[in-house]
Structure 1
Amino acid sequence: MAKPATNKPPLTAARLWQLVTERAPGRGGNALRVAAACTTTVLVGETWQVPDIAVPALVTMALWQKDRVTNVLAGLAVNILFGVIILMMFGLMHLTLDHPMGLVIATAVLSFGFFFLGSASKLKPVAYMLGLVVVYTMIAIGNVPFGELATRALLYADLFILVPGAVMVCLAPFICPSPKTILTRTLAHHLRLSAALLRNPEDEQTCDQAEALLRDGTKGMMMSLKMAGLEKLWRKQDLASLQQAIPRSIGVLALAHAAACEATDASDTYPDAPESLIETLLEMADIFQSGGYPTDIGQPPVPYTSPALAQIAALLPDFTKPIEDESSEKAKSKPSSSGFFALDAWTNPEHVRFAVKGTAAVMLSYFIFKILNWDGIHTCIITCFIVALPTMGEMISKLTLRISGALVGGALGILSIIFVMPHLTNIAAFLALIFAGSLLAAWVKSGDERIAYAGFQIGLAFFLSDLKDYGPTSDMTTARDRIIGILLGNFITYAVFTSFWPSSAYDKIRDKVSAALKALQAQFNASSVQDELQQAAAVQSALAHAERMIEFASVEPIHLRANMDELASYQAITSQISCLTEDGLIPARRPAASAQLASLDKVVS
């Protein structure tokens, strides 16, 4: 049996720094493209003199995608959606102008609606960005003295989405790779990491990278395949071959991880991976990296004493060869559409409670903003839409990322005002500064999901500090006030979400573990190798959700953790599932793994 995967402890400073500096494939290129898009948005805003250009720059960073097709579709969709919202807001404007109570009610209703959509629909995270812009616009309209300025403010709000959307549609086709290119590079990374595991099985860093990549499953790759199909530039045969390779790349990596764990445990008796197998994997990776896919792959000889290595070799000949009965397999594996709303959108009270808490945080921030009559801290309202999270564990685990990101971004903004802004003489130099700040934020945001949140906060604080009027600013008061607003919004959101209907991550662990066990049972019941590999990838994705919930629960307040009697058991179960899904891919070990699965089902049920 493979060595159990160790559960990661809560993030430490050393672990955070490792994630920040990690050079994952494609991370640098994506960060450069995000920075270029944000800079282009600022350039358009400066040219058109769009007020509060920090908001469009922030929306660009939030919505930018890795490939050109998704960017174009997202840019078009968000503009169409926001166009409908603008029409709705024209009606609201006439009802709320010169009616403060009407403005308060409209702000509360809109906040509730966007938070509900963010929790119970497929619109997230777009729902939060739309809510941010709409509510901010409503508040801005409430501050103008007469209708003509209010109408102008509403039209400017349309630019807050129109400019980022236009940048995504016009710029992405020129600077972003094709989704097919992203897919083939991802497949190459799977194979290279598998070869690295087989060559150096005792390298802990490589094993950690393999576990993290396995937990990603096939969702991202399948989405790239779908977007590649929409491009209409590639042959159906090529896309079918890549579709065949997606689950097999997961299977090869999982088996390589199992072989590496066994080699570490029994270094004296376990045979070394043959060089021919490693070279085959690397040659396949090179072909995928160049944008193609390998064909006529020979099965390299491996020792019969290593079932994991033998199974890797057995997967290679058909790695990119589509199955014969393609139509029946697609019909079997095609997921049923769940619709726009979640299945429990109208029955689960958690969605309503989340929307109520989010609305309470927004309105509390709004009242503090109005009572203090401190215009500079309006960022507290914006922040509420960005930092709201459903469980206490998520709120607490990401609180450090929020605060540290805001402080880093704010420090960058203030230092640039002191040392850089006075020396800027033209728009090019100003845009270079914006590009540098955006690049740092985008680099962090493009990293592991555990730190991506901090990257967005860096961008939030930096943009709101340095983008006030048109061109370079020397007003440090604005930067100070906006950073205070960000910190205030963080505190208010945290206080509201942890005080009213506090939702513990621990309560969701059982469902996540049950989903992983269900996927594992489907893997063992698979009728074909391809279906088995697809189900194994589904197990990895379900495991990722379960492990994250365990991680969130472990950082909740001590009085809550005192009632988490089964937390250690859940950690052990996820480790066993991780082993069983790898053992289930090896025919010789499947009967024993199936028996262990039955015992786990009894424990969880």
Structure 2
Amino acid sequence: MAQPVPDTAASAPSPPPNTQMMPGLTMARIWRLICDQSPGRLGYALRMAAACTTTVLIGEIWQVPELAVPALVTMALWQKDRVTNAVAGIAVNVLILILLLVIYGLVRVTLDHPMGLVIVIALLSFSFFFLGSASKLKPVAYMLGLITVYGLVAIDQVPVGEIVTRALLYTDLFLAIPGAVMIVLGLLICPSPKKILTDDIAARLHMAASLLQNPGLQTRERATALLRDGTTGMMKSARMAALEKIWSTHDLACLKQAASNSFAILALADHASRTSLREEPSSRLVKTLESMADIFSDGDYPTNIQRPVIKPEQPILEAMANLLPNFTTPSAAYNETPSKPKKSGFFTEDAFSNPDHVRFAVKGTAAVMLSYLTFKVLDWPGIHTCIITCFIVALPTMGEMISKLTLRITGALMGGALGIVSIIAIMPHLNDITGFLILVFVVSLIAAWIKTGDERIAYAGFQIGLAFYLTDLKGYGPTADMATARDRIVGIMLGNFITYMMFTSFWPSSAYDHLGSSLRKLAECLKNQGKAQAVQDKIQAAISSQAALAESERTLEFAMSEPLHMRADQPRLWAAREALDDTANLTEELLITSEKTDLSDRIARLKQIIS
């Protein structure tokens, strides 16, 4: 039920310093990202760890071999809310049927034909890498490739008479267990997508109030991250909430309106905190934002919001205040019949015209085949984890490979170290399954905490889980096999090295080559934002601009981390950096007024970098 917002007042705090955000990952920033207690992160990590532990428990009960695979699938696919988890779990279980048919046919074809097995693994690897690069299957293509190829590789380790039955059963369980856990446990312990949506709106309002008072560096970094996220996650939560059929259409429309307006409030607060005008924040405005945030945190939304009185010489704060009376009032656009969006198709527009997709698939396939042949030639089955690693760590550009290499290796070493220490110091003292599951939960929580953080460190969290599961989840129950731990860590590091070598030695793709398309998209978004007149049109245009800005900034960060022989000259990179910093200010300025006399010049600056 909607609630009115009380009229409040308080003394005005002092303005914040003008701090400019710079890209890159210093050790200090990495530590801030690790320790960042963003709203909902702890609950998300706890639920993910519980899901992984439940998967391990079911696997132990059913005696599923290579239990690391379903545990990894659970960590990779687990979602924030109950509806998305249920949808993903159902989709995974549907995919099982297709995979079973594929595995059955491939086993029949490759049985007792080693060369046929090699050819099939190569074709499958190419297909899944290509789908991961050029289709909508990108989020799960690599996981499907991992499971299918690993299922074929594991055939050599089972008795001949049981090959087909076991391959089908294990492939089924590798996906069926995570899918069932996501559906059943997700419905029991995950919040509604509506609650996720109201919490996200509350977080932006609390952040805006903090920015208007005395923000620290971590607050500013978190605010920038929320702005770059736009409203994509919130609108997804609204769509998932609609699937529950327990919330009224009007309430969801009000929340959608609030989601868009919360973005605008945060953008204006960010601009006010950095403006050279040093606008003194209104105490009544800050208190109103806090009161609204508290109502959203309770799962409701406010109505009858009183507009605080703002001095005429404070245009930024005045623009914020103007949004409040209609903050949760759906615009006319929600009452009209929406036009059906143009279907983009399963493949990307350049799927069969851009050679980069084929080159990516070739490099990924080469990494998988070299890993497969290495452990076969060495007759070292324990390092088969190098094949799994190839599917997990493949990235399209040199900048991405280098940027994530440190996270990848650090995460793998941390997970492997946790696994080895647990084998030496903890496993010998475990007398039953309870202690073992507690150990799995604790390490899963560490991995999940990092994985649910900023995208710049999330990769390391998954690598911690990967290394730990592959090290300790062997056989059934606690293990004391140090050789297995050693072999699997060696396999992970070998897979990292082979993938890095392949992707940086053959057709190396520079992130800078992708910057032009990102900047052109950004320039177009700024043009549209400058043309917008209605308030909601301005907000939607600003959301698009921030999304394009986020894409350009990440591409630039990757380009700046590349080796000197591939990197564009330093002046061009810093010119792009300065232009993006200016664009970040411009997207916020255009929310106040579209009449920017220098808009064309600032857009031309972006185009000059492209040329």
Distance across 2 between alignment mates of 1:286 and 1:580: 31
Which residue identity lines up with residue 477 of structure 2 in the other structure? G
Q: CA deviation at 1:314?
A: 0.3
Q: How does 1:268-287 map to 2 (within 5 A)?
A: 270-287=278-295
Q: Is the 8 A contact 1:97 1:142 kept in 2?
A: no
Which among 88, 91, 94 is matched to residue 80 of structure 1?
94
Which among 334, 341, 350 is matched to residue 347 of structure 2?
341
Which residue identity lines up with residue 527 of structure 2 in the other structure? Q
Q: Which residue of 1 aligns with 2:268?
A: 255
Which among 301, 313, 335 is matched to residue 305 of structure 1?
313
Q: CA deviation at 1:563?
A: 4.6
Give 5+ residue unaligned stretches, structure 1: none
**Is 2:608 the counterpart of 1:600?**
no
Q: Which moved more, 1:376-385 or 1:320-329?
A: 320-329
Q: Is the 8 A contact 2:82 2:190 kept in 1?
A: yes
Q: How does 1:227-376 map to 2 (within 5 A)?
A: 227-262=240-275, 265-266=276-277, 270-328=278-336, 330-331=338-339, 335-376=341-382
Q: Which residue of 2 aligns with 1:19?
A: 33
Q: Which residue of 2 aligns with 1:470?
A: 476
Q: CA deviation at 1:601?
A: 5.5
Q: Is the 8 A contact 1:513 1:574 kept in 2?
A: no
Which among 568, 585, 596 is matched to residue 591 of structure 2?
585
Q: Is the 8 A contact 2:228 2:547 kept in 1?
A: yes
> Cα gap change, 1:118/1:562 in structure 2, threshold over 3 Å: closer, same or farther?
closer
Q: Is the 8 A contact 2:519 2:606 kept in 1?
A: no
Distance across 1 between alignment mates of 2:217 and 2:184: 43
Q: Which residue of 2 aligns with 1:454?
A: 460
Q: CA deviation at 1:602?
A: 4.8
Q: CA deviation at 1:366?
A: 0.1
Q: Which residue of 1 aligns with 2:7?
A: none
Deviations along 1:38-61, whole A, 9 cap, x unmatched?
000000000000011111001100
Q: Is the 8 A contact 1:32 1:439 kept in 2?
A: yes
Q: Which residue of 2 aligns with 1:221?
A: 234
**Is 2:397 the counterpart of 1:384?**
no
Which residue identity lines up with residue 600 of structure 1 in the other structure? R
Which residue identity lines up with residue 355 of structure 2 in the other structure? P
Q: CA deviation at 1:5?
A: 8.0
Distance across 2 between alignment mates of 1:133 and 1:427: 27
Q: Is the 8 A contact 2:81 2:186 kept in 1?
A: yes
Q: Is the 8 A contact 1:4 1:576 kept in 2?
A: no
Partner of 1:560, secondary structure, is coil
Partner of 1:590, secondary structure, is coil
Deviations along 1:73-126, whole A, 9 cap, x unmatched?
111101212311210221111110000011001101111111111111121221
Distance across 2 between alignment mates of 1:125 and 1:147: 36
Q: Is the 8 A contact 2:17 2:273 kept in 1?
A: no
Distance across 1 between alignment mates of 2:570 and 2:25: 20
Q: CA deviation at 1:153?
A: 2.4
Q: Is the 8 A contact 2:389 2:492 kept in 1?
A: yes
Deviations along 1:439-483, whole A, 9 cap, x unmatched?
000000010000000000000001111110000001111011100
Partner of 1:561, secondary structure, is coil
Q: Which residue of 1 aligns with 2:5?
A: none
Q: Is the 8 A contact 1:380 1:485 kept in 2?
A: yes
Q: Is the 8 A contact 2:295 2:302 kept in 1?
A: yes
Which residue identity lines up with residue 474 of structure 2 in the other structure? K
> Cα gap change, 1:492/1:403 in structure 2, threshold over 3 Å: closer, same or farther?
same
Q: Is the 8 A contact 2:21 2:221 kept in 1?
A: no
Q: CA deviation at 1:564?
A: 6.0
Which among 110, 117, 129 is matched to residue 96 of structure 1?
110
> Cα gap change, 1:372/1:282 in structure 2, threshold over 3 Å: closer, same or farther?
same
Which residue identity lines up with residue 376 of structure 1 in the other structure? G
Which residue identity lines up with residue 546 of structure 1 in the other structure? S
> Cα gap change, 1:5/1:95 in structure 2, threshold over 3 Å: closer, same or farther?
farther
Which residue identity lines up with residue 561 of structure 2 in the other structure? V
Which among 490, 493, 496 is matched to residue 487 of structure 1?
493
Q: Which residue of 2 aligns with 1:31?
A: 45
Q: Which residue of 2 aligns with 1:206?
A: 219
Which residue identity lines up with residue 420 of structure 1 in the other structure? I
Q: Is the 8 A contact 1:144 1:150 kept in 2?
A: no
Q: Which residue of 1 aligns with 2:122?
A: 108
Q: Is the 8 A contact 1:82 1:130 kept in 2?
A: no
Q: Is the 8 A contact 1:4 1:579 kept in 2?
A: no
**Is 2:114 the counterpart of 1:136?**
no
Q: CA deviation at 1:306?
A: 1.0
Which among 75, 78, 81 is matched to residue 67 of structure 1?
81
Q: Is the 8 A contact 1:5 1:579 kept in 2?
A: no
Q: Which residue of 2 aligns with 1:195?
A: 209
Q: Is the 8 A contact 1:42 1:57 kept in 2?
A: yes
Which residue identity lines up with residue 227 of structure 1 in the other structure? M
Q: Which residue of 1 aligns with 2:429?
A: 423
Q: Which residue of 2 aligns with 1:530?
A: 536
Percentage of matched positions with identical amino acids? 59
Q: Which moved more, 1:91-100 or 1:570-579?
A: 570-579
**Is 2:520 the counterpart of 1:506?**
no
Partner of 1:465, secondary structure, is helix
Deviations along 1:498-537, whole A, 9 cap, x unmatched?
0011010000111111111111111122242112101101
Distance across 1 between alignment mates of 2:110 and 2:382: 23
> Cα gap change, 1:296/1:422 in structure 2, threshold over 3 Å: closer, same or farther?
same
Q: Is the 8 A contact 1:180 1:224 kept in 2?
A: yes
Distance across 1 between alignment mates of 2:153 and 2:333: 58
> Cα gap change, 1:158/1:4 in structure 2, threshold over 3 Å: closer, same or farther?
farther
Q: Which moved more, 1:494-503 or 1:112-121?
A: 112-121
Q: How does 1:391-406 map to 2 (within 5 A)?
A: 391-406=397-412
Q: Which residue of 2 aligns with 1:41?
A: 55
> Cα gap change, 1:424/1:405 in structure 2, threshold over 3 Å: closer, same or farther?
same
Q: Is the 8 A contact 1:191 1:285 kept in 2?
A: yes
Which residue identity lines up with residue 323 of structure 2 in the other structure? L
Which residue identity lines up with residue 218 of structure 2 in the other structure? Q
> Cα gap change, 1:437/1:325 in structure 2, threshold over 3 Å: closer, same or farther?
closer
Distance across 2 between alignment mates of 1:516 and 1:438: 39
